[in-house]
Amino acid sequence: MAKRPKVRKITIYDIARTAGTSSATVSLVLNGTWEKYRINVDTAAKVSRVAKEMGYRANLRARGLRTNRTGLVGMVIPHHRNRFFAGLVENCERAAHSRGLCPIVVSTQRDHETEIYVARALLAQQVDSMILAGSSQPDAVNRLCDESAIRCVNLDLPGQGAYSVVSDNRAGARALTERLVPFARSPADIHFMGGIEGEHATELRLTGFREALEAAGLGTATAEVSFCGYRPDTSRAALDALAARPEGMPRALFINSITALEGFATFLRDRLHLCRGCVVACFDWDPFAACLPLPIFMMRQDVEALTEACFDYLDQPEDWRGQSKVISPKLVVAAGDAKAVPVRRAAV
Amino acid sequence: MAKRPKVRKITIYDIARTAGTSSATVSLVLNGTWEKYRINVDTAAKVSRVAKEMGYRANLRARGLRTNRTGLVGMVIPHHRNRFFAGLVENCERAAHSRGLCPIVVSTQRDHETEIYVARALLAQQVDSMILAGSSQPDAVNRLCDESAIRCVNLDLPGQGAYSVVSDNRAGARALTERLVPFARSPADIHFMGGIEGEHATELRLTGFREALEAAGLGTATAEVSFCGYRPDTSRAALDALAARPEGMPRALFINSITALEGFATFLRDRLHLCRGCVVACFDWDPFAACLPLPIFMMRQDVEALTEACFDYLDQPEDWRGQSKVISPKLVVAAGDAKAVPVRRAAV
DNA sequence: CTGAAAGCGCTTACAG
DNA sequence: CTGAAAGCGCTTACAG
C-alpha cells in the first residue's frame, strides 16, 4: 500500500494570499472581531468565502500558544469502566462542548503514580483547567496545578488544595441504611463492606450507617465492617469469609461501592442459596446491578448536579480552595420485592 | 476568596539565562539529543540540574507547533457508559502511554452530527492519529482525517475510508447461537433482538445466527428478528411486545448488544415469571449482566487484541485503507446452570 | 562544542 | 479600514 501523500494544511497565509489581503485581516475576520476593527464588510465576506472554499481549519495549538488559552479541560478519573465515572465524563463532555471547550480525559486505574503521570501529561498539553475526580490523594495534583497556575476542582473526593464538589455521603448512607434496618434481626445481622479505612468517603458513609443503626436501636459497637477496598475480587473474598462463619451470611448488607457490588454479584451467582432473604444497599448505581435477583436499594449520585457545580466554579474567576459543595444523592429502589418494605423512620 | 496569583511558567529561556547558556543548548540537552550535537557533558549536566531545580515542564503545544507532532491520539467512541467501549478506552490509554502518547477521548452519543463535531475538535487540536470506534458511518470522519493528513483506524465497525479492526461478528454469533440451539424446541422458540437492519455488525451477526440455526435443522425463514436498535428502552418495548403474543416469550434469546441486554435486564426484574426456562446469549459482556438469574452466554470481544491491532497499524507508516483485521471474540459462559448444557455441534 | 536565527500558525496592539 | 511586526515557546539546520 502506498504511503499517505503529504498534504499541506492550509493556513491564514494561504487565505490571505488568495483573498488578496493580509494574514492579520484574515485572523480578525475569522475570529469575528472584524466589526470591532471596522474591517470592510466586503473584505470580510470575501475572506470568509475563501476560507470556506479552501476548507480552512484553525490550528488551535498555534492559537493557544499566542493567546495562552487552549480550550482544553483536563479530567482525571480512576476508571472508565464504572458507570459512575463514565456518567461523570459524559456530563462533563456535554458541559465542556456547550462552552466551546474540549475535554481530555485520562484514567489512573487508582494508582497514585499513574495519577501524577497523567496529570503532568495534561498540564504539559496546557489544559486551561482540571477536574480531578475520585482521587483519594488529590493534594499532589492540586499542587501541580498550582505550579502551572491552572484552576483545579476535586470531584467526588475532597481535598484542601482545591475547591471540592462531593456527594453527601453521610446523609446518603444514613438514608440507605434506614431502608436496610427493617431486615436486620440483630446488630450482627447487618454488615458494612467495601472501601478503605480512614478514606474520606468511606468514613463518612460509615458514620451515616452507624447513625441509622443507632437511631433504630440496633446499637453500633457490634456492627461489623469489612474494609475490602475497591476491587471485585477482594470483596468477593470478604463475602466468602462472611459466609464461612458459623452464623453465615448477614441478612442485610451495606455495600460501599459499585466495584464491591461487582464482587457480590459473582458471589450471588455462585452461591445464591446462601443469600435467601438477603437484602442489599449499595452506594452507587448500575442498571444491571439493579436487576440482580434480590431486593436492592441503590444510592445514585446526582451526576448532573455534580457536573454543573464543577463548571459553575470553573466559569467564574474566584479561587475557593478548601471549600466544598455537597450534593445530595438520590435513592433508587431497584428490585421489585423491596418496594413493599416499609421504611422504618429514625426516631429523632 | 482571593483570585489566583499570576504565575509565569518557566521556559527554556529562563533556564538558559540561569545556566548561562543559550536556549538552543537547553533544548538540545532537554531533548536528549545533546550527545549527537556533542554538547559538553558539564554543560549538559548543569542545564539538566537547573531545569530540575526550576521545575521546568516543556510546553508540548509549542513543541508541537514546531515539530508538527503533538503526541496526541484522538479516539471517538459512541458512549463512555458501556463496558465494551470503556474497556477499549482503558486499553488504548495503556497502549498510548507506553508509547509516550496522550489519548484524547470523546463520545458521540451515537449521533452523527456530534461525531463530526468532536472529530473536527480533535483534528483542530492537531492529534497525530485517530481511532474511530463503533461508528456506523465512519466515512465522513475518515474523509476529515484525510483532509488533515491524519491516519485513522476504524475500530469495531469497518469502513472503506480507513484501515479497520473488527471482531469476528459472524463466527462469534454462530458460536453463540450454537449454545442457544439446544434450548429451542422449535424455530419460533428462538429470537434475535437488537441492532439495526442493514448495519454491518448486525447483519453479520444475523448471518452467523442463521447459519447456526440452519446447521441445527431449525430452519431459518421462520426465525424471528426484532431490530430494536441500541437503546434499553426500545429493546424493553420489543420484549414486552414479544411477551404479549399468544405464544408468549421465546425460550432462547439472542441479544445483539449490551444496551439491548440492559432492556432485557429490566424486563427480567419486572417479569421474571415470564422468563422461566429462558436462556440468553449476548454479543457483549458485562460483569453484572453475567450474574442475572438465568443461563446466559456472553461473547466477550477481545479488547486487548483489538487495541493491539490498532496500535500495530498506527506504529507503522503504511496506509492500509480498505483492509480489515478480524479478531476472534471469546465465549464466556456466565451463569451456573448454563455450564451443564451440552453443545450441539453444527453438522458441517 | 555552542549560539544566532528562522520558523511553526496564530493574535493583537500599533501605525498609518 | 488594513498591513507590518512582534511574539507565544519551542526545534533544528547552520555557521563558526
pLDDT in tens, B187-237: 888 999 999 999 899 999 999 999 999 998 877 655 688 999 989 999 999
Sheet holding B129-133, edge to edge: B102-107, B72-77, B129-133, B151-155, B163-167, B324-327
Tens digit of each residue's pLDDT (9 = 90 or more) over B91-118: 999 999 999 999 999 999 999 999 999 9
pLDDT for res B4: 44
Question: What letter does residue A245 receive in the DSSP assignment?
Answer: S
Distance separating alpha carbons of residues A58 and A211, to the nearest angstrom: 57
CB contact under 8 A, A291 and B290: no
What is the grid cell recorded at A313? 466554579
Average pLDDT over residues A26-47: 86
Least confident of A72-86, A157-171, B43-57, B125-139: B43-57
The Cα B270–Cα B289 span in angstroms is 15
Selected residue with higher pLDDT from A221 and A102: A102
CA B284 to chain centre: 12
- What's the CA gap between B223 and B50, in Å, rounded? 73
Give the DSSP H/E element, type plus range, for residue B4: none
pLDDT at B335: 58
- Bases of chain D within 7 A of a CB of the protein: 1-5, 7-14
Angle between helices A12-19 and A23-30 (to 10 degrees): 110
| C-alpha to C-alpha distance for A132 and A163, rounded to whole angstroms | 10
Strands B296-300 and B330-333: antiparallel
Residue A257 reports pLDDT greater than 80: yes
| Nine cell digits for residue B28 | 538540545
Rounded average pLDDT over A127-136: 96
Q: Determine which of A69, A75, A80 to mutate to test the interface with B (most B C-beta atoms within 10 Å).
A: A80
User: Smallest CA–C1' separation from A41: which nucleotide?
Assistant: D1
Contact, A142 vs A74, CB < 8 A?
no
Q: How far is the CA of B134 from the C1' of D12 (A)?
A: 41
Residues in chain B within 8 Å Cβ distance of A149: 4-7, 9
Mean pLDDT for chain A overall: 88
pLDDT at residue A339 tops 60: no
Phi and psi at B273, nearest 5°, equal: -60, -25
Q: The C-alpha cell of B257 is what? A: 448488544
Tens of pLDDT along A2-12?
444 446 788 99
- pLDDT tens-place string over residues A277-293: 899 999 999 888 888 88
Higher pLDDT, B146 or A348: B146
Cβ within 8 Å, pair B57-A123? yes
CA atoms B247, B253, B256, B257: torsion sign: positive
Query: Does residue B165 sit in helix, strand or coil?
Result: strand
Nearest in space to B61 (alpha carbons), one of A124, A151, A106, A104: A124
Running DSSP on this structure, what letter comes out for residue B3?
B
- Predicted local confidence at residue A336, as pLDDT: 47
The residue-averaged pLDDT of B124-144 equals 95
Give B225-273 pLDDT, tens digit per residue. 899 998 999 999 999 999 999 988 999 999 999 999 999 999 998 888 8
Asked whether A319 and B1 are in contact (CB, 8 A), the reply is yes
Q: Which nucleotide is nearest to B68 (CA to C1')?
A: C8
- Spanning CA of A137 to C1' of D11, the rounded length in angstroms is 37
Within 8 A by CB and 6+ apart from B150, the residues are: B123, B127, B128, B129, B130
Find the closest chain A residue to B265 by CA distance: A291
Length of chain A: 348
Q: How far is the CA of B22 from the C1' of C5 (A)?
A: 12
Residue B279 phi, psi (nearest 5): -140, 145
- Confidence tier at B333 by pLDDT (50, 70, 90): confident
pLDDT at A348: 29
- CB-based contacts of B37, cutoff 8 Å, min separation 6: B28
Complete DSSP assignment for A267-316: HHHH-GGGGTT-EEEESS--TTGGGSSS-EEEEE--HHHHHHHHHHHHHS
Q: What is the pLDDT of residues A265-275, one digit of tens each?
A: 999 988 888 98
Which residues in B29-85 belong to E strands, given as ranges? 72-77
* Strand D: residues with CB below 7 A: A 20-25, 37-40, 43-44, 62, 65-66, 68; B 9, 11-13, 23-24, 27-28, 30-31, 33, 37, 56, 58-59, 62-63, 65-67
Are the Cβ atoms of B269 and A93 closer than 8 angstroms?
A: no
Q: Any residues with CB less than 8 A from the CB of A54 and at least 6 apart, and which?
A: A10, A14, A15, A18
Assigned C-alpha cell, A126: 496546557
Residue B344 pLDDT grade (very low, low, confident, very high; cuts 50, 70, 90): very low
| CB-nearest partner of B293 from A61, A293, A336 | A293
The whole-number pLDDT of residue B308 equals 97
Task: Decide if A172 contacts A205 (C-beta within 8 A).
Answer: yes
3-class state of residue B35 by DSSP: coil
Whether B211 contacts B217, CB under 8 Å: no
Q: What integer best gives the mean pLDDT of chain B?
A: 88
Share of chain A above pLDDT 90, in %: 63
Q: Is the pLDDT of residue A1 over 50?
A: no
CA angle A86, A91, A92 (to 5 degrees): 95
- Give the residue whose CA sits closest to D9 at C1': B62
Residues in chain B: 348
Instruction: Name the pLDDT band for B325 (thresholds 50, 70, 90).
Output: very high
| B-chain residues near A122 (CB < 8 A) | 102
Q: Report yes or no: B152 and B142 within 8 Å, Cβ to Cβ.
A: yes
- Nearest-angstrom CA–CA distance, B197 and B261: 18
> With bands split at pLDDT 50, 70 and 90, how would you rate the model's confidence at A217?
confident
For the entire predicted model, the pTM comes to 0.89
Residue at shortest CA–C1' distance from D12:
B24
Per-residue pLDDT at A334: 64
Residue A219 to chain B, least CA–CA distance (Å): 33
